[in-house]
């Protein structure tokens, strides 16, 4: 097992960091000012995207891209440090066409779209000419269990008709969002098993009956691209807008999440690294009671704990990326459990590391003058996004219990029973 990046990945990593320093950071204040003024996306975004594409820093995430599709074809392990670098600046991934939820949607379309669907949606997504959203969660049912979903799709002649309500749909308020990938319950699903009752439908945002009801603030934070509530009222699309097979939506949704979680976790680790870097710098520069904060034992402990926890988390995420790269050559259940584990670890990490950094910064840490408050809020949201911690812990536990069940009794030799004490074995030559 070797987590060292390939020479190409190393080179791209250096170029990406240099690009961010040279072109993105100088625009950071302008980005926030534009968003606050409601001028989203800021006018310079398209110029930065064009520049990134020209420099070959485009679609860095998808290993299975075809020869005629733009991108670098890095494996998951090689992409991970790039995601970490982009994570430091939350608006950076869009510049490189590596932003959620489009990355996950691109993966879905890449695997399951028909040639006509590829031409209509995948090509413009890979080109960065449009954005998309993934609509699964619903206000009326516990959406951490997608078998509950109630938005229905029924077949009517050559059409599919959708009705229901979705919410927290990230990206749906982006002015360039043209496509919703909607996970629905099949109206004729009564006899299908709970994992074969759902289908995915490609719904253009401007289809009559689609209504963006509101952009829901998250912990009072207003995301310009939106986490939207969407009403679908008798939304009618042609039957060829079905993505994949009828009834295969649940399995496709599961497949979508693996690489996306590695991306999220590595971006989180990037934010934690930045938080630690800022905190350590502040601790060295700020003096209280006659000495720098960095001389206080508790501050040193916070810094050390953050360093240790970030490095532990990174290794775990890289291992998950490596497992994903191995595909079916490794135990797929182990990969799933590992991907579930990193989601829990990264979200918790972000809250702890950023919380310590905010404390070191004092009141400034809670202001918008540093990225810490936004990072901390995001860390809290991460504990629910893509499924709550508890559901991921359940997956990890189930895998572990399955392994234990398969090898029940294997570790019995480690017991020290009264029988063994009474009759210890004798070594024979």
Ligand X SMILES: Cc1cc2nc3c(=O)[nH]c(=O)nc-3n(C[C@H](O)[C@H](O)[C@H](O)COP(=O)(O)OP(=O)(O)OC[C@H]3O[C@@H](n4cnc5c(N)ncnc54)[C@H](O)[C@@H]3O)c2cc1C
Footprint on this chain of ligand X (rule: CB under 6 A): 101, 134-137, 142-144, 168-170, 218, 227, 381, 384-388, 390-391, 394
CA-nearest of 57, 51, 68 to 8 is: 57
CA-angle at 360, arms to 358 and 363, nearest 5°:
60
- Closest approach of ligand X to the CB of residue 135, in Å: 6
- Closest approach of ligand X to the CB of residue 101, in Å: 5
Question: Rounded to whole angstroms, what are the CA distances from 402 to 94, 266, 397, 407?
Answer: 40, 28, 8, 9
CB nearer to ligand X: give 364 or 384: 384
- Closest approach of ligand X to the CB of residue 149, in Å: 9
CB nearer to ligand X: give 155 or 165: 165
Find out whether 45 and 92 touch, Cβ atoms under 8 Å. Answer: no
Structure token digits, residue 319: 């291992």
CB nearer to ligand X: give 147 or 312: 147
How far apart, in whole angstroms, are the C-alpha atoms of residue 389 and residue 348? Answer: 9
- Closest approach of ligand X to the CB of residue 291, in Å: 41
- Closest approach of ligand X to the CB of residue 134, in Å: 5
- Closest approach of ligand X to the CB of residue 394, in Å: 5
- Closest approach of ligand X to the CB of residue 148, in Å: 8
How far apart, in whole angstroms, are the C-alpha atoms of residue 10 and residue 72? Answer: 13
Find out whether 135 and 169 touch, Cβ atoms under 8 Å. Answer: yes
CB nearer to ligand X: give 149 or 318: 149
CA-nearest of 338, 326, 227, 316 to 268 is: 316
Which of left, alpha, beta for 200 (phi over 0: left; psi -120 to 50: alpha)? beta
Burial of residue 138 (CB within 10 Å: 0-12, 13-18, 19+) is buried
CB nearer to ligand X: give 159 or 402: 402
- Secondary structure tally for the chain: helices H, strands E: 14, 10
Count of other CB atoms within 10 angstroms of residue 313: 22
CB nearer to ligand X: give 113 or 382: 382
How far apart, in whole angstroms, are the C-alpha atoms of residue 46 and residue 127? Answer: 12
Find out whether 221 and 190 touch, Cβ atoms under 8 Å. Answer: no
CB nearer to ligand X: give 72 or 395: 395
CB nearer to ligand X: give 10 or 222: 222
The sign of the torsion formed by the CA atoms of 271, 275, 281, 285 equals: positive
CB nearer to ligand X: give 84 or 386: 386
Place of tokens 């098993």: 193
- Closest approach of ligand X to the CB of residue 320, in Å: 19
Place of tokens 């709550």: 388
CB nearer to ligand X: give 51 or 384: 384
- Closest approach of ligand X to the CB of residue 169, in Å: 5
How far apart, in whole angstroms, are the C-alpha atoms of residue 378 and residue 384? Answer: 10
- Closest approach of ligand X to the CB of residue 362, in Å: 28
């Amino acid at each position: 097992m070797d987590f060292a990046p390939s020479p190409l990945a190393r080179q791209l990593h250096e170029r990406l960091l240099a690009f961010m320093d040279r072109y993105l950071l100088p625009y950071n204040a302008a980005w926030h000012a534009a968003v606050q003024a409601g001028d989203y996306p800021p006018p310079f975004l398209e110029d930065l995207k064009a520049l990134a594409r020209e420099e070959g820093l485009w679609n860095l995430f998808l290993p299975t891209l075809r020869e005629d599709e733009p991108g670098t074809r890095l494996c998951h392990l090689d992409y991970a440090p790039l995601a970490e670098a982009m994570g430091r600046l939350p608006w950076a991934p869009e510049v490189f066409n590596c932003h959620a939820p489009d990355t996950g949607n691109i993966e879905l379309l890449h695997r399951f779209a028909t040639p006509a669907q590829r031409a209509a949606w995948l090509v413009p997504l890979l080109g960065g000419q449009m954005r998309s959203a993934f609509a699964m969660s619903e206000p009326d049912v516990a959406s951490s269990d997608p078998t509950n979903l109630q938005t229905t799709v029924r077949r009517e002649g050559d059409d599919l008709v959708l009705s229901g309500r979705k919410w927290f749909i990230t990206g749906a308020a982006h002015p360039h969002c043209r496509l919703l990938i909607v996970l629905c319950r099949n109206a004729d699903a009564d006899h299908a098993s709970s994992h074969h009752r759902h289908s995915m439908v490609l719904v253009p945002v401007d289809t009559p009956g689609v209504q963006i009801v509101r952009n829901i603030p998250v912990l009072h934070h207003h995301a310009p691209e939106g986490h939207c509530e969407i009403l679908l009222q008798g939304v009618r699309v042609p039957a060829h807008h079905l993505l994949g097979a009828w009834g295969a939506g649940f399995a496709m949704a599961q497949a979508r999440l693996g690489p996306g979680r590695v991306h999220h976790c590595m971006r989180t680790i990037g934010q934690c690294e930045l938080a630690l870097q800022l905190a350590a710098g502040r601790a060295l520069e700020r003096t209280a009671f006659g000495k720098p904060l960095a001389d206080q034992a508790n501050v040193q402990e916070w810094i050390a704990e953050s360093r240790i926890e970030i490095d532990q988390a990174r290794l775990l995420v890289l291992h998950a990326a490596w497992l994903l790269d191995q595909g079916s050559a490794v135990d797929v259940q182990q990969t799933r459990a590992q991907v579930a584990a990193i989601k829990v670890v990264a979200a918790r990490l972000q809250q702890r590391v950023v919380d310590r950094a905010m404390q070191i910064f004092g009141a400034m840490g809670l202001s918008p003058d540093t990225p810490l408050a936004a990072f901390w809020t995001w860390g809290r949201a991460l504990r629910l996004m893509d499924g709550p911690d508890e559901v991921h812990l359940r997956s990890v536990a189930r895998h572990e219990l399955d392994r234990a069940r398969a090898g029940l009794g294997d570790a019995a030799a480690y017991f020290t029973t009264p029988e063994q004490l009474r009759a210890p074995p004798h070594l024979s030559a």
